[in-house]
Amino acid sequence: MSGLTVFRARVIFDGSVVHRDRQLVVEDGRVRGLVPLADTPPRSRIIDTEAEWLSPGFVDWQVNGGGGVLFNDNPGVEGLARIADAHRRFGTTALLPTVITDAPAVTKAAAEAAAESIKQGTPGIAGIHFEGPHISVARKGVHDARFIRPMEQDDLALLRRRDIGRIVATVAPENATVDDVAALAEAGTIVSLGHTAADHDTARRYFAAGAQAVTHLFNAMEPLHHRAPGLIGAALENPSIYCGLIADGHHVHPSVLSMVFAAGPKARLTLVTDAMSSVGDPSDTFELNGRTVHREDGRLTIDDGTLAGSDLDMVSAIGFAVRACGVSIVDALRMATSVPAGMLGLNTIGSLRPGARADIVTLTEGLEITGVHMAGEPASLG
């Protein structure tokens, strides 16, 4: 976009705070700043969104699929573009496509797809999340145990690549050493503990070694116990650790989410979707590693009842946090914008500060999306 464009809404949330009686000025696809309504720059194009809320685009670091595409089954540039397109209609303008535990060839193909997408500038693709295969069999969830294995030197090399954007690696102490975590952290990879039976002391050692996050807190880990706080307790007591939370009412009870949102470190809590191919797709079944996943009332399970990712989109996660868990709209928006962007170390997304990419979502008072812009240009929501 060339020239100046001014966006107006009743309330503008910049990723940190709320602004009223201000308008957002965008120049050449970047945020120039916020100015009073009386100070409209001359010769600017005015877009009055008539929305209640104007927010940065949402950031999601755990997306397995969308639009009928599962990343594991379609690890290519076209598949990633379709996944990003599917989530954009729900306000997500930056995501990490997530490849779960699979054969080494699939994991490598996923890395190549992310690299090519970054090279081509595929809209919405910010890197990649490797969720496995270096996790615990005991806490594998829906992951296929055939492919779970210890981390080796080739794996370390893959997880330290510099050409695939931001990398999150979900690992478990059962199959990744403290030295592995330290090497990854030193290379800039974001290590997230998950799918593990690790106890409290072990989790603290791995955080000290450089692990920075926890994948879908509460799910696929030892439950919190007052005498054995485990990974959950180690994460919540540490103000430096980011925690992903799936706010759909199926993965974590709303009462537990409410407690975490009320008492947890808000600057480190992030909403994630853990979305599967069903998001933005009408099909009620799909295949995962040769098993059929069924969708019923927004819940995805395989035949034995094990949860298989989620049918959640980010704007629905925000709405659930607000309506079912008592979170303020501002805090919920932070957990979907600036906090995950901060976790990923990306200062050009997740905010509307000067210099940020003008990825914009507009919402009604009831948190329904009315529009999405990427770099200041309207995005197709078809």
Q: Which domain holds residue 361?
A: 4-55+352-378
What six digits make up the tokens of 41? 């720059």
Which one from 274, 281, 313, 359 is the annotated catalytic residue?
274
206 & 225 share domain: yes
Q: What is the CATH number of the domain that holds 158?
A: 3.20.20.140
- Angle separating helix axes 200-209 and 230-237, nearest 10 degrees: 50
Residue 101 and residue 79: Cα distance in Å, rounded? 18
Q: How far apart are CA 262 and CA 339, in angstroms?
A: 16
Per-residue pLDDT for 382 more than 90?
A: no
Separation of alpha carbons 91 and 6, rounded Å: 20
Q: Taking a C-beta distance cutoff of 8 angstroms, is the pair 52, 365 a contact?
A: yes
Residue 264's pLDDT is what?
Answer: 84
Same domain, 148 and 43: no
pLDDT tens, residue by residue, 108-132: 999 999 999 999 999 999 999 999 9
Domain shared by 234 and 369, yes or no: no
pLDDT for 76 beyond 70: yes
pLDDT at 160 over 50: yes
Place of tokens 């492919």: 147
2 has pLDDT over 80: no
CATH value at residue 40: 2.30.40.10
Q: Kindly list the distances between the CA atom of residue 194 and the CA atoms of 108, 115, 215, 341, 355, in Å, as whole numbers in the listed order.
A: 21, 25, 5, 20, 34
Both 131 and 172 in one domain: the answer is: yes
> How confident is the model at residue 1, as a pLDDT?
41
The answer to whether residues 126 and 30 belong to one domain is no
Strand partners, 245: 271
109 and 17, same structural domain? no
Task: State whether 16 and 158 are in the same domain.
Answer: no
The arithmetic mean of pLDDT across residues 93-99, rounded, is 98
Do the bridges between strand 166-171 and strand 127-131 make them parallel or antiparallel, or are there none, so unpaired? Answer: parallel
Question: How much is the pLDDT for 67?
Answer: 97
Is the same domain home to 101 and 118? yes
Tokens of 334: 């932070």
**What's the mean pLDDT when you consider all of the chain?**
96
Query: For residue 14, what are the contacts with CB-CB under 8 A and spacing of at least 6?
Result: 34, 56, 351, 352, 353
Please tell me whether residues 175 and 216 are part of one structural domain: yes
pLDDT at 235 over 50: yes
- Is residue 181 pLDDT above 50, yes or no? yes
Quick one: pLDDT at residue 96?
98
Summarize the confidence of residues 186-210 as an average pLDDT: 98
Same domain, 134 and 42: no
- Which CA distances in Å does 373 have to 49, 316, 319, 352? 11, 19, 20, 12
pLDDT at 381: 75
* Residue 265 banded pLDDT, cuts 50, 70, 90: confident
| Cα 17 from Cα 60, distance rounded (Å) | 20
Q: Find the helix or strand (DSSP H, E) in which 163 lies.
A: none
Scan for tokens 């995501």, then name that residue.
95
How many independent structural domains does the chain possess?
2
Question: What is the CA angle 130-225-274, rounded to 5?
Answer: 25
126 shares a domain with 24 = no
Q: Can you give the pLDDT at residue 334?
A: 98
**Do 176 and 307 reside in the same domain of the chain?**
yes
Query: How many separate helices (H) and strands (E) can be counted in the chain?
Result: 10, 23
Q: What pLDDT shows up at residue 27?
A: 97
State pLDDT tens for residues 290-326: 999 999 999 999 999 999 999 999 999 999 999 999 9
- 274 in active site: yes
